[in-house]
Chain A
Amino acid sequence: MSNLDIVRPENSSFHWVGRLLIWTILLLFCLWFLMPAYVVISTSLKNLEEIRGGSLLALPHELNFTAWTHAWNEACIGVQCSGLKPYFWNSVMMVVPAVLFSTMLGALTGYTLTKWRFRGSNIIFALILFGCFVPFQVVILPMAQTLGILRLTNTVYGLILVHSVYGLAFTTLFFRNYYVTIPDELIRAATIDGAGFFTIFFRILLPISPPIIVVAVIWQFTQIWNDFLFGVSFTTGGSQPLMVALNNLVNTTTGVKQYNVDMAAALITAAPTLLVYIVAGRYFVRGLTAGSVKG
């Protein structure tokens, strides 16, 4: 659609008004999307008097990072005044294994479902796919009980298990949709040459998989890092992930409300996924749209 005006030269004055209008709307929306980020960053750099006395949209007088170090090291989350630091590491310990497990299992499952179809494999895929859309409220109660039985309540292992299982539906979808575009003749030829199930996977499919692996890893990382429901349902106190700690920090009502610390904490919590988005946004967007595009 991008070459409409090549096709039909526009009347020039009309054309310029149109261009101006397009740019105005686009830039206004840029401001609307960037405003919260600007407000959060500038508030995190102000001190409390500046916040109470000045305007929300004013620039900070100086670059003051005390709110950041406070949020990281000493801010009170509930009754514990340890800052976000320990919770940050809780999240890292949770996210790394959960992303690895769900991506590896998703790759193998997607490979099997496309290249080694058997009777019933379409039904299996449909059942797995529906797992992407189940509202998790319908599983958290049994999950809480199961984690209790397995003695995994309040542990990082419990959350790793939960995120690996519920992430599998998405990673399977990604890999399945990617592998379905690889010609079956390639696999057939390899089979005739005597290659087996794993040889084909490791020698043929895996070497061409890096793009979809990046998509799956980024998707899983963002989802798990940003999860709140599982964290708040299955952990308490010191073993909570960062997202739950952030919410507790912001809603801790003891003492003076430190808006600058709240905003610094929000930034620290958002930083990892934002960084991934800035570095590898293309893959992130591909993951976002993968669920809605026919495979």
Chain B
Amino acid sequence: MASVAARMADRLERWMPKIVIAPGFLAILLFVYGFIIWTAYISFSKSRMLPNYDLIGLRQYERLFQMDRWNVAFTNLLIFGATFILVSIIIGVLLAILLDQRIRIEGAIRTIYLYPMAISFVITGTAWKWIMNPSLGLETVVRSWGWESFSFGWIVDQNMAVYALVMAAVWQSSGFVMALFLSALRSVDQDIIKAASLDGASTAKIYLRIILPSMRPVFMSAVVILSHLAIKSFDLVVALTNGGPGYSSTLPANFMYEMTFRRNEIGVGAASAIIMLATVVAIMVPYLYSELRGSKNV
């Protein structure tokens, strides 16, 4: 009898890893992958106000692509994403390089550059909405300094509202890019730099020709993380422009929310969510694949 109990205990011990991992993994399987399939199904169905499980093929996608609001949202994502990523990386790399020049109070400056990452996009949006207030905000301040024609009404201008989003998003995220690059700069091989500088290369040349090209993986990471942030952007838009004026600064995430929860267009909302997922997958999967493959070799 004792040996049976021992064998049971032994078997339990052998199964323990799988038992422990099961609840979390099953939850992710259901709540992530199961729900993705569910949403995909709805996007192929007749659903409008309530879920309806009659399939109608790609009709919801056809309706989606015919909606001006969606086309504006997707174009905005391209403009917002490209500008936001480019400007964040330029500022982030610049600040990282400058901070790497033996700055005495580097820690304090880093703290200032990074604090926006600790607060939510809703708060960032609220603050910038006030700063960009056309009648009481920065515009009035600059005019009172004597620049009478200065105009900063981005959030009420349909052509500029999306750049107001870029401005606030860059403010929030460029410190993060700085932190990524600074930690990469700190791990650059010193010997190569010493050799280059003994050969008479200038500091600028060393950065441009040797150091930055060697950080291609960091650029990759930054682009991937920032594009992921851009695609997910929802609360910043709600708090800063609420998609307006009209729907000129709406992004796909806001479109999805609007259709699903406000306009009783569940099918179109689901279709837009699937397009968002497809965009993320197109960017993430090659990246994750190379990351995971790299880590196996270590």
Is B103 a contact of A141 with CB atoms below 8 Å? Answer: no
Q: In the complex, which residues of chain B have a beta carbon less than 8 angstroms from the beta carbon of A40?
A: 127, 130
Residue A292 CB within 8 A of the other chain = yes
A266-B228 contact in complex given A2-B101, A250-B239, C-beta closer than 8 Å: no
A121 and B18 CA atoms in complex are apart in Å by 9
Q: In the complex, which residues of chain B have a beta carbon less than 8 angstroms from the beta carbon of A43?
A: 130
Q: Which A residues between 105 and 127 are near B, CB-CB below 8 angstroms?
A: 105-106, 108-109, 112-113, 116, 118, 121-122, 124, 126-127
Residue A202 CB within 8 A of the other chain = no
Residue A192 CB within 8 A of the other chain = no
5 A-B pairs, CB-CB below 8 angstroms? A1-B211, A2-B186, A33-B116, A37-B127, A55-B141
- A128 to chain B minimum Cβ distance, whole angstroms, is 6
- B62 to chain A minimum Cβ distance, whole angstroms, is 20
Interface string of B152-192 (1 = CB under 8 A from A): 00000000000000000001000110011001011010100
A138-B273 contact in complex given A25-B94, A109-B21, A288-B176, C-beta closer than 8 Å: yes
Residues of B in contact with A (beta carbons under 8 Å apart): 13, 16-18, 20-21, 23-25, 27-29, 31-36, 38-39, 42, 51, 91, 94-95, 98-103, 109, 111-124, 126-131, 136-138, 140-141, 144, 171, 175-176, 179-180, 183, 185-186, 188, 190, 193-194, 197-198, 203, 206, 211, 218, 221-222, 224-225, 228, 231-232, 234-235, 238-239, 242, 252-253, 256-257, 260-261, 266, 269-270, 272-274, 276-277, 280, 284, 288, 291-292, 294-295, 298
Residue A45 CB within 8 A of the other chain = no
Interface string of A85-116 (1 = CB under 8 A from B): 00000000000000000000110110011001
Q: In the complex, which residues of chain B have a beta carbon less than 8 angstroms from the beta carbon of A229?
A: 234-235, 253, 257
Q: In the complex, which residues of chain B have a beta carbon less than 8 angstroms from the beta carbon of A22?
A: 98, 101, 103
Q: Which of A112, A135, A274, A292 contacts B21 (CB 8 A)?
A: A112
Given contact pairs A3-B190, A4-B101, A228-B122, enumerate 13 new A-B contacts (beta carbons under 8 Å): A36-B131, A129-B288, A131-B32, A134-B32, A135-B232, A136-B232, A169-B32, A196-B13, A226-B120, A269-B122, A270-B120, A289-B180, A292-B180
Q: In the complex, which residues of chain A have a beta carbon less than 8 angstroms from the beta carbon of B21?
A: 108-109, 112-113, 121, 124
A145-B51 contact in complex given A135-B253, A229-B234, A246-B126, C-beta closer than 8 Å: yes
Q: Which A residues between 216 and 236 are near B, CB-CB below 8 angstroms?
A: 222, 225-229, 232-233
Stretch at the interface among A59-67, A73-81, A151-159, A276-284: A276-284
Is A141 a contact of B27 with CB atoms below 8 Å? Answer: no
Q: Which of A138, A146, A198 contacts B274 (CB 8 A)?
A: A138
Residue A51 CB within 8 A of the other chain = yes
A111 and B28 CA atoms in complex are apart in Å by 17
A222 and B116 CA atoms in complex are apart in Å by 12
Q: In the complex, which residues of chain B have a beta carbon less than 8 angstroms from the beta carbon of A292?
A: 180, 218, 221-222, 224-225
A285 and B175 CA atoms in complex are apart in Å by 10
Is B269 a contact of A294 with CB atoms below 8 Å? Answer: no
Q: Which A residues between 22 and 61 are near B, CB-CB below 8 angstroms?
A: 22-23, 25-26, 29-30, 32-37, 39-40, 43, 51-52, 55-57
Q: In the complex, which residues of chain B have a beta carbon less than 8 angstroms from the beta carbon of A118?
A: 17-18
Is B127 a contact of A166 with CB atoms below 8 Å? Answer: no
Number of A-B contacts (CB under 8 A): 278
Q: Which of B122, B171, B197 contacts A7 (CB 8 A)?
A: B197
Q: In the complex, which residues of chain B have a beta carbon less than 8 angstroms from the beta carbon of A37?
A: 115, 127
Residue A190 CB within 8 A of the other chain = no
Q: In the complex, which residues of chain B have a beta carbon less than 8 angstroms from the beta carbon of A25?
A: 94, 98
Q: Which of A7, A226, A233, A274 contacts B257 (CB 8 A)?
A: A233
A5 and B36 CA atoms in complex are apart in Å by 54
**6 smallest A-B Cβ distances: which pairs?**
A226-B120, A116-B17, A277-B118, A228-B235, A292-B221, A142-B38
Is B118 a contact of A284 with CB atoms below 8 Å? Answer: yes
A263 and B131 CA atoms in complex are apart in Å by 11
Is B284 a contact of A133 with CB atoms below 8 Å? Answer: yes
Interface string of A153-194 (1 = CB under 8 A from B): 000000000000110110010000000000000000000000
Smallest Cβ-Cβ distance to A23: which chain B residue = B103
Q: Which of A139, A168, A172, A273 contacts B35 (CB 8 A)?
A: A139
A26 and B140 CA atoms in complex are apart in Å by 27
Smallest Cβ-Cβ distance to A22: which chain B residue = B98
Smallest Cβ-Cβ distance to A106: which chain B residue = B24
